[in-house]
Amino acid sequence: MKIIGIESSSLVASAAVWEDGKLLAEYTVDHKKTHSQTLLPMLEEICRMTECEMKTVDAVAVSAGPGSFTGLRIGAATAKGLGLALDIPLIAVPTLDATAWGLFGVKDLICPIMDAKRGQVYTGIYRFDEEDRLSILKASCAMDFGELAEQLKALGGRVYFLGDGVPVFREKAKEVLGENARFAPAGQDRQRAANVAALGALLLAEGKTVTSADFAPEYYRESQAERVRRERESKAVVHD
Contact string (CB under 8 A) for other proteins, positions 18-37, x = contact:
----------------x-xx
**Interaction between residue 2 and other proteins (CB under 8 A):** no
Question: Interface with other proteins by CB under 8 A: which range of 11-19, 178-186, 194-202, 212-220?
Answer: 212-220
Q: Could you tell me how many residues of this chain bind other proteins (CB under 8 A)?
A: 37
**Interaction between residue 229 and other proteins (CB under 8 A):** yes
* Binder of other proteins out of 14, 38, 63, 180 (CB under 8 A): 38
Cα separation, 118 vs 145, whole angstroms: 10
**Interaction between residue 14 and other proteins (CB under 8 A):** no
* Binder of other proteins out of 224, 236, 238, 239 (CB under 8 A): 224
Question: Interface with other proteins by CB under 8 A: which range of 98-106, 157-165, 194-202, 205-213?
Answer: 205-213
CB of 143 to other proteins, least distance (A): 21
**Interaction between residue 95 and other proteins (CB under 8 A):** no
* Closer of 62 and 110 to other proteins (Cβ): 62
**Interaction between residue 216 and other proteins (CB under 8 A):** yes
**Interaction between residue 41 and other proteins (CB under 8 A):** yes
Cα separation, 32 vs 195, whole angstroms: 21
What is the residue-wise DSSP string for the chain? -EEEEEE-SSS-EEEEEEETTEEEEEEEE-SSS-HHHHHHHHHHHHHHHTT--GGG--EEEEE--SS-HHHHHHHHHHHHHHHHHHT--EEEE-HHHHHHHTTTT--SEEEEEEE-STTEEEEEEEEE-TT--EEEEEEEEEEEHHHHHHHHHHH-S-EEEESTTHHHHHHHHHHHHGGGEEEPPTTSSS--HHHHHHHHHHHHHTT--B-TTT-----SS--HHHHHHHHHHHHHHHH-
Q: Is the dihedral of CA 224, 71, 87, 192 positive or negative?
A: negative
Write out the binding residues for other proteins, residues 64-93 only, by CB under 8 A: 69-70, 73-74, 76-86
**Interaction between residue 56 and other proteins (CB under 8 A):** no
Contact set with other proteins (CB under 8 A):
34, 36-41, 43-44, 54, 69-70, 73-74, 76-86, 211-213, 215-217, 219, 223-226, 229
